[in-house]
Structure formats: structure tokens, C-alpha cells
Amino acid sequence: MPRNVVVTGSGSGIGAALTTLLRAQGDRVIGVDLKGGDIDADLSTPAGRAAAATAASEAAGGVVDAAVTCAGTSVPGTAMVTVNYFGTTEFLTALRPALAAAGQPRVVAVGSVSGTQPADPDVVTACLAGDEAEALRHAGRAVADGHARRLYPSSKAALARWARRTAVAPGWADAGIPVNVVAPGIVLTPMTAGLFDDPGMKKVMDTAVPMPLNGYLRPEDVARTVLFLVSGANSHITGQVLYVDGGAEATLRGPEVF
């Protein structure tokens, strides 16, 4: 029987690749994107997130079998906080009742290996407290101080911690909803394409995210991993950050187990 799968950021990159794979196996995808999705929504605002979750739930008839959040931005600025973190966590929280109504619900958020890199602790703390205004205040300060690029790892570090906390929280694990994060290395998507136009920037990226196994990822490489995590075959994996990064995290952090 076809499942109802909600995918944010469905119009490009990992979200588009995942949508193709899901539809190929007979699932019904409800795509959420800024423009051109089944549901058009601005996930940078509380109202946009709430409206998107309501519309997705209604489109699925109140039963969402899986939700995958791929929407995000790498443009330095406060949108890294509003979209990458709150655009995922608030959307998924609003969608939880429809997930709980499914027989084998699954949740995957797309994070990043950059979540292991230096972050702004004040931004991370405010995000985890659910205080968007405070998170934006600290993010604005980071931008003003010339540290806007720290906001991306900050948003992804906070997202990973939220997922681990949420996975075992009441209303999630006890409702049979696994919550996991897939953390890619460098993926060749429209969002990252501009980074490689400058040879100097490419060198910086290769140093920051070394990928000794098979180099850069294609969107479908990440999508195939997500496909397993949202399948019925995943019965017990939850609260995990799965690095799909060609060995970047292991290279950067060494042999210790985190």
C-alpha cells in the first residue's frame, strides 16, 4: 500500500532525489518547498511552518507515514537559524499527530557533517530552548561581528542535539516514531555549486571537509540512505546522526566514538 511521505525541500538537491526514489517505489510524496512544491511554504517563519504542517497533514488525510526535512540554506545569515533549525523542528513537531496516526511512522532530518565544526554556543543554546527570538538576536550579533559562517554549523549542531533529545521524548519513541539525522559531507547540489566556482574556495572546502572515500556525494547517494531509514526495515534505529560523508567525520574527529 502506498505510503504518504512528506518531504521539505523537495524541488532540488537531496529532496528532489529522494522524491524520485520514493515515487519509483510507489510511495505518495507530498512535497513542500518555497516555490513549485505540492505545498508552497516559507519555513523561515512560524506562520509558514504551521501552515505547511497543516496543509501536509490534510493532504495526507491525517496520516503521515514518514517525514523528511531537506529544506535548508547555506547562504550566510540569520536564515540559517530560521530555516535550517526552526524550519525543521517546529514543522516536525506540528506534524507529530499525523505521524503518530500512522502504522510505522518515520522521521529523518537532513543535517550536515559541519555540525561537528566550531559553532556559536549562544545560538545553539537558544535554539535548543526553543527561543527563536533569542537565537535570532545571537545570530544577528554573529553576522555583525563577521562570524556569519558559524551559523551553519550552529544550526546543524543544534538540529542533531534536538533529534537525539526528541527521539526518546514522550510522544515520539512511545508512539513508534524513530527520529534520525543524516549528516552528509559535501553534496553536489544547486546550493553548493557556487562554492566550487572559485578554485581557492574549493581548496578551503576540501580542507574543511576531507572525503577520502569516493569524494563528493551526489544527492541520490544521500537519498538512498534516507530511503532505508524511513522504511519498515528500520525498526530500532533512533536518535542517531548517520554521517554519509566519505569519511570526513572520522578524519576530522579521529577514532574516538562519540
Active site (catalytic) residues: 152
Secondary structure class of 197 (helix, strand, coil): coil
| Side chain identity at residue 83, one-letter code | V
Q: Which grid cell sits at 114?
A: 559541519
| Side chain identity at residue 195, one-letter code | L
Secondary structure class of 228 (helix, strand, coil): helix
Contacts of 197 (CB under 8 A, 6+ apart): none
d(CA 212, CA 206): 10
> Virtual CA dihedral for 94, 98, 102, 108, nearest 10 degrees?
-30
Q: What is the DSSP string of 64-113?
A: -SEEEE-----SSSTHHHIIIIIHHHHHHHHHHHHHHTSSS-EEEEE--G
Residue tagged 557533517 (cell numbers):
113
d(CA 183, CA 197): 24
- Backbone torsions φ then ψ of 222, nearest 5 degrees: -75, -40
